[in-house]
Amino acid sequence: MNTIIEPFRIKSVEPIYFSSRNERTDILKHAYYNPFLIKARDVIIDLLTDSGTSAMSGEQWAGVMRGDESYAGSDSFFRFEKVVNEITGMPFIIPTHQGRASERILFSITGGDGKYVLSNTLFDTTRANVEFSGAEGIDLRCAESNDPDAPAPFKGNMDAAALQTFVEQHGAARVSLVILTVTNNSGGGQPVSMANIKEVSSICRACRIPLFIDACRFAENAYFIKQRERGYGMKSVFQIAREMFSYADGCMMSAKKDAFANIGGFLAVWDEQLAEKCRNLLIITEGFPTYGGLAGRDLEAIAIGLREVMDEQYLRYRIRSIQYIGEKLDTFGIPYVKPTGGHALYLNAGRFMDHIPVHQYPGQALCNSLYLEGGIRGVEIGSVMFGKYAADGNLLSPPMELVRLAIPRRVYTQSHIDYVAEVIAEVYKKRRKFRGYRLTYEPPMLRHFTARFEPII
């Protein structure tokens, strides 16, 4: 059969509230034209993030009941530790309440003034935590990633030659870490190839720079390797994941993504001394080392989710369902980053809204028009999220203006997705009617979460 169906049945449902267009006009105004400030009940299809929004399985919910809530040494921790160790091979495993907690702990120890953290692309909280420590985060993206239309298979790769040059110019001692984000979220959800992981790893090992994997979407990345990289077609996703981690010195993961959990994360490392330092910080702000800010039931849900995510029927459906939206958009010639990523479709807002200049935030305009038209919530990944100011106050824009439509795992069905494509097509037809925005308030860091806007009339 050619039709790839959702590999699950639905046992428990949540109603969707259908707002009218008039209501949404009002709601958007009261949210200062920032979709992060809209109440979730006022959203019809919520594609803001794939983080913490997964539908857990019956097994995970059963695990929630089994969760051992002992303060120290709970059974749930040991089950969690065993699974993470099986997948990563790493011996020291530290639970945290979510990805950014792992980041804060790691960079508090390894970062600091005058240091660099190099990456294929740092996620926004990762960059913020690097910078908060005093270090500087630098993205060395592969050349193909700059072309949104290039159908290259591994556009998440790091530019290994640029890494080598950077280390030669600045000295290995100043590079505290290299981080490979798999898949590369801010770069379009694109995968990193095994060859690239190996090459980056060998540069790091030669220079004694620790390599960490930001493993939020490791299973999606492993599945892309299986599909696209020579020599991996016959290997299981588990074997591929295991190999990916074997080239790294440590990893951090937000379990809110590929572990189908609603909360949680971890740090895993090979170095016992580093683990010790991390645990000391963990105790101050997260919790005892066997729960790290989570409940026993969360650890249980993560342990089960990490095994479930490597199911290849699931991954086949997952990757295919994102491609499916892309194919629908192709029929209207709607610009998006190609090929489609593992967890999201990234609309090319710069081109979609090419009548709006970057300083009027075309991505924000596209996000807001999707909400107005069909109650869809996406997120701007462009000048609002990554824009900085030059000394003269001018906006410095990132290379692309994108809108990410992240697909929560196991939550929406094909008809929801058909509706999403229809709304995007409708907005595309009317795009010239939509205007840009100006900022009326912005906080000093991670401004996209709480910034306020007004439309430019």
Grouping H, G, I as helix, E, B as strand and the rest as coil, residue 181 is strand
Site for ligand F0G in 115-144 (CB under 6 A): 123, 125-126
DSSP-derived secondary structure letter, 380: E
Q: Closest separation between CB of residue 49 and ligand F0G, Å?
A: 3
Cα separation, 289 vs 91, whole angstroms: 14
Residue from the set 120, 176, 181, 290 that interacts with ligand F0G by CB under 6 A: 181
With 0-12 / 13-18 / 19 or more C-beta atoms within 10 angstroms meaning exposed / middle / buried, residue 429 is: exposed
Radius of gyration of the chain (CA): 21
Q: Closest separation between CB of residue 209 and ligand F0G, Å?
A: 20
Q: Which is nearer to ligand F0G, 254 or 383 (CB)?
A: 254
Residue from the set 256, 297, 431, 447 that interacts with ligand F0G by CB under 6 A: 256
Integer angstrom CA distances of residue 244 from 178, 189, 435 = 15, 17, 44
Q: Which tokens hold the place of 200?
A: 């980056």
Q: Which is nearer to ligand F0G, 45 or 356 (CB)?
A: 45
Q: Give the end-to-end CA distance of the chain in Å, rounded to a whole number.
A: 52
Q: Which is nearer to ligand F0G, 60 or 360 (CB)?
A: 60
Q: Closest separation between CB of residue 282 and ligand F0G, Å?
A: 15
Residue from the set 19, 34, 254, 364 that interacts with ligand F0G by CB under 6 A: 254
Q: Which is nearer to ligand F0G, 116 or 123 (CB)?
A: 123
Q: Which is nearer to ligand F0G, 51 or 364 (CB)?
A: 51
293: left (phi over 0), alpha (psi -120 to 50) or beta: left
Site for ligand F0G in 14-73 (CB under 6 A): 49, 51
Residue 253 and residue 217 in contact, taking contact as beta carbons nearer than 8 Å: no
Name the segment binding ligand F0G (CB under 6 A); options: 93-101, 109-117, 329-337, 347-355. Answer: 93-101
Name the segment binding ligand F0G (CB under 6 A); options: 97-105, 357-365, 417-425, 438-446. Answer: 97-105
Name the segment binding ligand F0G (CB under 6 A); options: 98-106, 149-157, 383-391, 447-455. Answer: 98-106
Task: Report which residue's Cβ sits closest to ligand F0G.
Answer: 99
Q: Closest separation between CB of residue 78 and ligand F0G, Å?
A: 23
Residue from the set 98, 129, 360, 383 that interacts with ligand F0G by CB under 6 A: 98
Residue 403 and residue 381 in contact, taking contact as beta carbons nearer than 8 Å: yes
Q: Which is nearer to ligand F0G, 167 or 406 (CB)?
A: 406
Integer angstrom CA distances of residue 20 from 24, 334, 371, 418 = 6, 25, 11, 19
Closest CA to 409 of 42, 51, 16, 121: 51
Q: Which is nearer to ligand F0G, 356 or 376 (CB)?
A: 376
Site for ligand F0G in 346-385 (CB under 6 A): none
Closest CA to 366 of 46, 211, 379, 357: 379
Q: Which is nearer to ligand F0G, 326 or 342 (CB)?
A: 342
Residue from the set 46, 81, 214, 380 that interacts with ligand F0G by CB under 6 A: 214
Q: Which is nearer to ligand F0G, 133 or 181 (CB)?
A: 181
Count CB neighbours of 25 within 10 A.
Answer: 12
Q: Closest separation between CB of residue 449 and ligand F0G, Å?
A: 10
Site for ligand F0G in 402-441 (CB under 6 A): 406
Residue 261 and residue 54 in contact, taking contact as beta carbons nearer than 8 Å: yes
Q: Which is nearer to ligand F0G, 328 or 377 (CB)?
A: 377
Integer angstrom CA distances of residue 142 from 121, 122, 157, 231, 256 = 10, 14, 6, 22, 27
Q: Closest separation between CB of residue 406 and ligand F0G, Å?
A: 6
Burial letters 296-315, b for 16+ CB under 10 A, else e: bbbbbbbbbbbebbbeeebb
Grouping H, G, I as helix, E, B as strand and the rest as coil, residue 251 is strand
Examine residue 265 and tell whether it contacts ligand F0G (CB under 6 A): yes
Residue from the set 35, 67, 99, 375 that interacts with ligand F0G by CB under 6 A: 99
Examine residue 321 and tell whether it contacts ligand F0G (CB under 6 A): no
Cα separation, 35 vs 329, whole angstroms: 23
Cα separation, 104 vs 456, whole angstroms: 38
Size of the site for ligand F0G (CB under 6 A): 16
DSSP-derived secondary structure letter, 106: H
Q: Which is nearer to ligand F0G, 245 or 428 (CB)?
A: 245
Residues forming the site for ligand F0G (CB under 6 A):
49, 51, 98-100, 123, 125-126, 181, 185, 214, 216, 254, 256, 265, 406
